[in-house]
Structure 1
Amino acid sequence: PKAADIATAALRLANVGETLRGLVAKPQLMVDALHGKPKLAWRTEATGKDSLGNPMARVVLTDAVTGKQIDAWDSIETAAGDGRSLYAGTVPLQTTKSGSAYQLTDPTRGNTYTGDTQNKTDSCILILCYKRAAAPVLTDADNHWGTGAGSDRASAAVDAQYGTDTTWDYYKKVHGRSGIAGDGKGSYNRVHYGSAYNNAFWDDGCFCMTYGDGDGTTFGPLVSLDVSGHEMSHGVTSKTAALTYSGEPGGLNEATSDIFGTLVEFYAANPSDPGDWRIGEKVVKSGFGRSALRYMDQPSKDGASADCWTSSVGSLDVHYSSGVANHFAYLLAEGSGPKTIGGVAHNGTTCDGTKVTGIGRAELGAIWYRALTVYMTSSTKYAGARTATLNAAKDLYGAGSAEYAAVGAAWSAVSVK
C-alpha cells in the first residue's frame, strides 16, 4: 500500500496543475539489480486520466525495505509519426503510443496535444467562460494522420499540432525559452471549434489555442503556421510584459504576436508555406477581398492599419494600431524598398521618406524578445517601445553598434521619435 501511495503521489507531482481522475496503482515485487547492489523493490505503475480524459501514467521503483523511491519514469511510449496537413504539406509528428493506438500528444514538448471539440463552443457570459468545450485528444490507428483534405478532421489537427511544435522549437532553440510560460509545460489545441467560426484565439484560462474552421468563403480553417505562432505568442506576452490589451499597449501586444508568428514561419523553412511578411495568407479566401489579414511591409494595405505613429493611434482597434510596430519590425529586418520574399513582392515604405537598411530577421527577433521580456511592462506605449528596443539592442550589440543605430532609424521611419 505504501508503494502505491508513493507512485500515486509521484504521478500527481509530475502533473502539477492537472485534475487527475481514476487513479490506479498496482505494485509488483521484483529484484532491482540496476541501481547498485541487488535488492527487493516494488515496481508500481500509477495510471489515471486528466480532466479531458487523456491517459497519464508513471512507473515508480520503491525500495521494499526502506520505502524510499529509487527511480521513476513516464510509461506512455513516444512514437514518431507524420501527418498530411491542410497548409504545410506532410510534416513529422511526435506522438504517444497508448495500447494499440496513437495519441496526438507530444511528450517531447511538454505533453502538448491536440483535441477535437466536435464543433462545440464555450459557455460564456461577456468575456468570462465558465465552461469550455471539451476537446479529447485525437487518436489514430497507424500514426499517419490526416489526408491533407478538409473532409478528414485530422488534417486541421495536423496543422495545429505542427504549428505548436514549431512555435515551441522556435522559442526553445532561438530564445532559450522552454514552453510558452517558460516552465517546460505544453499548451494544448482545440480544433473544429463552433460552426463556420471565423477566428482563432489564445486563452490564458485554459492555457490553450482554439481554432475555428472558417466559413469557407472568407476564411478556411484558421490553423496556418503564422496564425499558430501569433496566437501562442499572446501566451508569451501574457507571461512576460503582460501588455494591456487596449490603446497603444494593445497594439504592441498584437504586433508582438505578428512579429513572432512571422518569425516562426521563417524558422520553419517549410516549402509548402514559405516565410513572408503577410499574416494569415494561407487561410484567407477570395471572399475576404484581399490576400492576407495584415501586411507588415505596408500595414495600410489592409485598409485600416496605421503605417505611421500619430497621437490618435491608441484610439484604433489593437489589430490596426499594431501596424506601426509591424512596420517598424519589417523595416528593421528587411529594410526599405521593393524586394521579393517567399515568392511574394514586398515594398518597405517609410513615413519620412528615408531609406532604412535592414539588419536581419534573427537580430529583430533577439532585440524584440529581450525588449519584451526585460524592458516592456503592461503600460508600455510606442515611445516606451522605442526605448525598450534601444536598450535591448545596446545590451546585445553595444550602444555604438550598427544594430543600435538601425533600431533608432527604423522607429524614426514610422514616426516614433
Structure 2
Amino acid sequence: MKRLTLAGVTVLAVVTLVGTGATNAAADPTRTPRDRTIARATAHVKQHPAAFGYGPGQALSVRDVIVDPDGTEHVRFDRTYQGLPVIGGDFVVHTARSGTLAGHDHARARDIKLASTTPKLSARDTAGNALRSVTGLTVDSSTPRLVVWALDGTPRIAWETTVAGTGAHGEPDSEVVVTDANTGEELERYDAEPNVAGTGKSEYTGSVSIETTQQADGTYTLKDGVRGHVTKDAHNVSSNSVTASSGTLFSDADNIWGDGKKFSTDRSTAAVDAHANTAWTYDYYKNVHGRNGIKNDGKGATVFVHVGTKWDNAQWSDACFCMLTGDGNGTTDPEQVDLDTMGHEMTHGVTSATANLRYSGESGGLNEATSDIFGTMVEFYAGNAFDQGDYLFSDQSTPPWLRRMDKPSADGSSADCWSRTVKRLDVHNSSGVGNHWFYLASEGSGAKTLNGVSYNSPTCDGSTVAGIGNTKVAKIWYRALTVYMSSTTDYAGARVASLKAATDLYGATSAEYKAVAAAWTAVAVK
C-alpha cells in the first residue's frame, strides 16, 4: 500500500492518483480491473472531499469491491484518523459505468476533528476496569486498543477493550467494552463474536456426497478442494485460543464417513454435516449471488466441530476465519451443525467482509437477522428432503425451533415490531424485526402452510401484505447489505438500503419495490 496526499488529505490506498484524474488513473494498463475500480473511487474522494467529510490526518483502506453486471462499481472504505481506526467512519463510493460519481453511503461519522489523540486514561487502567466489569466467563486476557469512536456522530478517542476467556461449557467467549479515553465513561458493550444459541451419513440431511482430498498414503481428509474449506476436530477444547491451525483434520481410509446418528460416538458424523452444509452455503452464495466465498476471493474457511463440553451453540470468528460448533446439550439438542445453522454462521463472515454491521443495538439485530435470512435461504436452496426449507431457525438442532420468522415474539423474547426500545434488546431478539420483515415480504401476512409447516404472520398496523417470494427478497437484501449498508445501519437505514436495492433490481414502480416498502411499514419501520 502507498500513501498519497489528496487536497490536504492523507489517504492510505492501493493506487497513486497524485496529479491525475479519475480517467487517467483508471487507464494505467499495469493495473488490474480491481485496482482501476479502487482508483476511480479514490479519485472521487480527491475531487469531492467535503462530500466524504475528509480532513487532514485521515487515511483509507479498502474493505470490499463489487462491480454490477451493468458496470456500476461500489467500493467500501474503512478509515483511520492519525493512525487510529475510526469506529463508525466507513462509507461506500458508488461509481457509474461512465466513471462519474453516482453517490455514496456513510456510517455515522462525517467530519473528524479532534484537539488531541493522547488519552488521559492509560491502557492498563482501562483493561483492569474492563476485566472487573465482565461477569460469567473465565478470563484469559484483556486487550485494549485506542480508537476514534464516532457511533453517535461526535468523534472522541476511546479505549476498545476485548476481554477474552471461556464460558461455562468451555466455549470461546469474549466481550468488548468501549470507554471514553479521557473521562472513563462506558460508551458501548457487546459480544466480540456473533453467536446463535466423499460419502457421508449425516445427522440431519441423510446420505450426502462430500468433497474430500486423497493423501499420498491413500487416506482421505475433509478438505474441499473445490470450495477450499477444511473440517477439523477441535477435541472439545475449552479455550478461545483456537486458531485456523488448531485441532486435527479428519481423515478416513475408505472415504465413507459417519454413521448418521445424533449424539454419535463416531466423531466424524458431526463433521459430515458441517462439511456438507458449509459446501451448500458456499454454493448458494456463488450460484445465486455471484459471491465467490466469504470475502469474494475464492478462499474457504476452517470449520471446527466438537468445541467445548456440552456447548449448545455455534459461532463465527473473524480472528481465525473459522466456524466453531458445539456438541449440543447432550440430551435434547444434538450437535450444532444443521444446515441453517452453518448457513447462519458463514453469513456472519460475509457480513463482516461487507457492511460489517456492528454487533450491538439495531445494527447488531440486523447482523443477526441477515444470518437468519441467508441461513434460511440456504435451506431452500439445498432442497434436501430431510431438512426442507422453512422459516424456523435451528429447528433441527434446537427442537422445535430457536427462532421463527412469521411471528418472532412466539419465543417470548423477540420483537415483531420496531419501537424505540428495540435497540436495547439482545441482538438475537432485536433481529425479530428484520426476520418478520423478511417473512412478510416473502410470503405475506396471515395463515398459510409451506412444506408441512403452518405459519400465521401478523402485521403491526393491521394491514395485509402480499409476498413476492423469498428468492427475490433475498436478492434485494443481499444487494442492500453489500452495496448500501454501513457498519452503523439501523432499521430505518435498512429500509432505505433495501428500497434502493429493489429500485436497482426491479425499478422504483415495481411490485417488488412496493412489497418491500409495505413489509417494512407492516413491522413499523417507516
Q: TM-score, normalised by structure 2?
A: 0.61
- Does 2:520 correspond to 1:411? yes
Q: 2:314 aligns with which of 200, 203, 218?
A: 200
CA distance in 2, matches of 1:101, 1:406: 53
CA distance in 2, matches of 1:185, 1:132: 13
Residue 213 of structure 2 aligns with an amino acid whose one-letter code is T
CA distance in 2, matches of 1:403, 1:373: 19
- Does 2:453 correspond to 1:344? yes
Which residue is equivalent to 1:115?
232
Which residue is equivalent to 2:293?
179
Q: Which runs of 5+ in 1 are unaligned?
A: 1-80, 124-128, 286-290
State the identity %. Answer: 57
Which residue is equivalent to 1:271?
385
For residue 133 of structure 1, report the CA deviation from its aligned partner. 8.3
For residue 215 of structure 1, report the CA deviation from its aligned partner. 1.3
* Cα separation, partners in 2 of 1:275 and 1:130, compared to 1, 3 Å: closer
- Does 2:439 correspond to 1:330? yes
CA distance in 2, matches of 1:133, 1:120: 13
**Is this contact kept in 1: 2:220–2:251, CA < 8 A?**
yes
Q: Deviations over 1:344-400 (max 9, x none)?
A: 111121111111110011101100000000000001000000000000000000001
CA distance in 2, matches of 1:246, 1:342: 34
CA distance in 2, matches of 1:341, 1:220: 25
For residue 100 of structure 1, report the CA deviation from its aligned partner. 1.2
**Is this contact kept in 2: 1:95–1:105, CA < 8 A?**
yes
Any runs of at least 4 consecutive aligned residues in structure 1 with deviations exceeding 3 A, and if so which? 129-133
- Does 2:250 correspond to 1:138? yes
Which residue is equivalent to 2:497?
388
Greater Cα offset, 380-389 or 135-144: 135-144
For residue 219 of structure 1, report the CA deviation from its aligned partner. 2.0
Paired residues in the alignment total: 326
* Cα separation, partners in 2 of 1:202 and 1:408, compared to 1, 3 Å: same
Residue 240 of structure 1 aligns with an amino acid whose one-letter code is T
CA distance in 2, matches of 1:135, 1:107: 19
Which residue is equivalent to 1:31?
none
Which residue is equivalent to 1:91?
208
For residue 250 of structure 1, report the CA deviation from its aligned partner. 0.3
* Cα separation, partners in 2 of 1:133 and 1:105, compared to 1, 3 Å: closer
CA distance in 1, matches of 2:395, 2:242: 33
Q: TM-score, normalised by structure 1?
A: 0.77
**Is this contact kept in 2: 1:122–1:131, CA < 8 A?**
no
Report the 3-state secondary structure (helix = DSSP H, G, I; strand = E; otherwise coil) of the residue aligned with 1:83: strand
Query: What are the within-5 Å matches in structure 2 for residues 247-396 of structure 1?
Result: 247-285=361-399, 291-396=400-505
Greater Cα offset, 318-327 or 113-122: 113-122
Query: What are the within-5 Å matches in structure 2 for residues 16-165 of structure 1?
Result: 81-98=198-215, 99-109=217-227, 111-123=228-240, 129=241, 134-149=246-261, 150-165=264-279
Report the 3-state secondary structure (helix = DSSP H, G, I; strand = E; otherwise coil) of the residue aligned with 1:324: helix
For residue 122 of structure 1, report the CA deviation from its aligned partner. 2.2
Which residue is equivalent to 1:190?
304
Q: Which runs of 5+ in 2 are unaligned?
A: 1-197
For residue 151 of structure 1, report the CA deviation from its aligned partner. 2.0
CA distance in 1, matches of 2:377, 2:230: 22
